[in-house]
């Protein structure tokens, strides 16, 4: 999960000022966690709190934690519809296919014990707000990629499974995508690109750099690519330390709780 957060932090500087290069400065004084990190932490916290509960209780806890952290960090950069959702007394899903469902789901791939469970829980995390079929599909694709990566699947096996299960075109290369790629916050327009960035990478940092170099919604693409890359490669200790340094104490506490929880 920290791999998703660090990817978001790296990409935060380049979301509005895109780069098409891979040799950019990894961090700067403006690097920060955005809504991607905050909602990643919220979903992780909710799943830890609701472990063993039924689907409805899991969804209630997801809403509670997402609203709690969203209100605690109101300037993290939420989209307009989701910003309103965070404030509603009884929030309802609004048929979104935005990539918010994909960027917040990485903990599912770490906490679930089977691929079937991963897909089911990923759907729950999406449908509390992003209940459009593409929103659900995006969440499931990232969660499944994380699960497969951490359980020893090869890159090619992951690519084939995701392409067949979700209908994404993963045959494209980054060099083919990059020149014309533009800002796209839909799942269908960013989840496949994040997975391709992971597929072409040689290590964790390389995956994040490749994701950012596409341009577009850089923080979210790097968040999703970083989530899968961490599960596949592991994450360098110096980058873990940098991520934890940038997070505030409250967020660090959730990360530490998650690391203890997911290792038991």
- Is residue 124 within 8 Å of 15, Cβ to Cβ? no
Residue 180's domain comprises 2-262
Sign of CA pseudo-dihedral 96, 81, 14, 143 = negative
* Count: domains in the chain: 1
Six-digit token pair at 87?
Answer: 């404030």
Per-residue pLDDT of the chain (264 residues; tens, 9 = 90+): 999 999 999 999 999 899 999 999 999 999 999 999 999 999 999 999 999 999 999 999 999 999 999 999 999 999 999 999 999 999 999 999 999 999 999 999 999 999 999 999 999 999 999 999 999 999 999 999 999 999 999 999 999 999 999 999 999 999 999 999 999 999 999 999 999 999 999 999 999 999 999 999 999 999 999 999 999 999 999 999 999 999 999 999 999 999 999 987
CATH (domain of 249): 1.10.4080.10
pLDDT of residue 80: 94
In angstroms, the Cα distances linking 24 to 18, 135, 208 are 11, 31, 11
Instruction: Give φ, ψ of 188 to 5 degrees.
Output: -65, -20
Sign of CA pseudo-dihedral 184, 88, 247, 50 = negative
For residue 242, the Cα-to-chain-centroid distance in whole angstroms is: 18
The backbone region for 152, taken as left when phi is positive above 0, alpha when psi lies in -120 to 50, beta otherwise, is left
pLDDT of residue 263: 85
């Amino acid at each position: 999960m920290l791999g998703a957060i660090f990817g978001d932090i790296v990409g935060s500087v380049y979301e509005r000022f895109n780069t098409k290069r891979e040799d950019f400065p990894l961090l700067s004084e403006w690097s920060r966690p955005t809504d991607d990190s905050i909602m990643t932490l919220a979903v992780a916290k909710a799943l830890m709190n609701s472990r063993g509960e039924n689907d409805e209780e899991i969804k209630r806890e997801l809403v509670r934690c997402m609203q709690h952290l969203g209100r605690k960090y109101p300037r993290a950069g939420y989209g307009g519809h989701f910003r309103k959702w965070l404030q509603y007394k009884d929030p309802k899903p609004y048929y979104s296919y935005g990539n918010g469902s994909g960027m917040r789901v990485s903990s599912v791939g770490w906490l679930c014990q089977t691929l079937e469970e991963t897909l089911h829980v990923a759907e729950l995390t999406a449908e509390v707000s992003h209940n459009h079929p593409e929103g659900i599909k995006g969440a499931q694709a990232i969660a499944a990629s994380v699960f497969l990566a951490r359980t020893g699947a090869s890159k090619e096996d992951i690519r084939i499974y995701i392409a067949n299960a979700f209908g994404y075109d993963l045959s494209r290369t980054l060099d083919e995508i990059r020149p014309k790629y533009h800002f796209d916050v839909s799942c269908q327009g960013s989840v496949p690109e994040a997975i391709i960035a992971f597929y072409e990478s040689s290590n964790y940092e390389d995956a994040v750099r490749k994701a950012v170099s596409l341009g577009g919604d850089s923080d979210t693409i790097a968040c999703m690519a970083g989530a899968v890359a961490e599960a596949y490669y592991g994450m360098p200790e110096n980058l873990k330390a940098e991520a934890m340094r940038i997070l505030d104490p409250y967020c660090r506490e959730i990360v530490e709780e998650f690391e203890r929880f997911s290792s038991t």
